[in-house]
Amino acid sequence: MSEGEYTGKTVLITGAAGGIGTAMAKAYAGAGASLAFVDIADCTGICDDLPGSHSAWQLDISDPDAIEATVSEIGGRMGIDVLINNAGFGVVGAADTFSVEEWDRTLKINLRGPWLMSRAALPYLKASGSGRIVNIASQAGVIALLEHAAYGASKAGLINLTKVLAIEWAKYGITVNAVSPTVVETPMALVGWAGEKGEKARQEIPVGRFARPDEIASAAMYLSSAQAGIVTGENLVVDGGFTIR
């Protein structure tokens, strides 16, 4: 995106304190957007390192009442033109040993959370006249991966939710799309996929590497841009060809 592409637009990013969220913050701020950072952790420090005027809120997106209050406050103060549902929770394990608590938390954060965020943001996205929602899903929502029963189910549900909201809200000028990455080289992922495990995983990806956070940010920025106004209900798979083998 060119400098100034998002001037005058407010972008709400959940999971802003994480690797992908931080990359998105830098990209959107660099294109002129005003940002509303939302994370369960304190992310006020991100605001200080970016050009422009931005605000931060602490929010647990498994809490429906907190979502309603926080999004209403953001929308009333800044408006909302773009919602990036980036916050996620990932614990993997065999389907027969996964706990009910882990299953429920995964679905609450990865599927129910984006639905509640989108619903709460709807009045402000309508007012925008060209509202955009981008949901960060996963290749695990497209194909079956070992030990990803809960995570994969949550992301598959998020992809379908994306399509349903796209149909229902197109009449308001709102587009709803998803991005499904492979492993992304965030600080946490680089630790989790270090050594032989990571080398083997990279070999299974046709392009031979994991995705970079800035590549996911660029995908989101395209889908939320004016140029992508005809694109809705799509799931952009950013996985180096892993799922088409």
Please list the active-site residues: 151
Which residues are bridge partners to 38 per DSSP?
Answer: 14, 57
Which residues are bridge partners to 14 per DSSP?
Answer: 38
d(CA 166, CA 202) in angstroms, rounded, equals 33
